[in-house]
Amino acid sequence: MRKYETIYIIDPGMEGTALDGVIEKYNGLIHSYGGKVLKQDRWGARNLAYPLKKKNQGFYVYTLWEGENQTLIELERAFRIDENILRHLTVVLEKKQLIAIEKELAAQV
């Protein structure tokens, strides 16, 4: 399985429980396709460099996960459909990045 980093920006107008629901929805989607969330950080609400969908702020979520290509395809499709997601970006990690991240994850345990 490949490791991916995904950052997505959620509409800042969502309340706490609805925000948690959106994040859990995408974590559940990764798990339902046999993937695994390795690390997740909620960076919180931040100002955007330029307005997205007439919003000046967004709630940033960083997710490090591993999964198959089909998981990535479904996750990207779900992001495009969801109106609460302002923007998203997924990057496949290279070997050099994997070594640094695996050291970081081992240090956390």
Domain positions in the chain are 2-108
Three-state DSSP state, 49: strand
Rounded to a whole number of angstroms, the CA Rg of the chain reads 14
Residue 21 has pLDDT above 80, yes or no: yes
Residue 109 has pLDDT above 70, yes or no: no
| Closest by CA position to 4, among listed 66, 85, 62 | 66
- Fold annotation for 2-108: Alpha-Beta Plaits (3.30.70)
Taking residues 26-48, report their average pLDDT.
94
Residue 57 has pLDDT above 70, yes or no: yes
- Model pLDDT, residue 8: 97
Residue 102 has pLDDT above 80, yes or no: no
pTM of this structure: 0.86
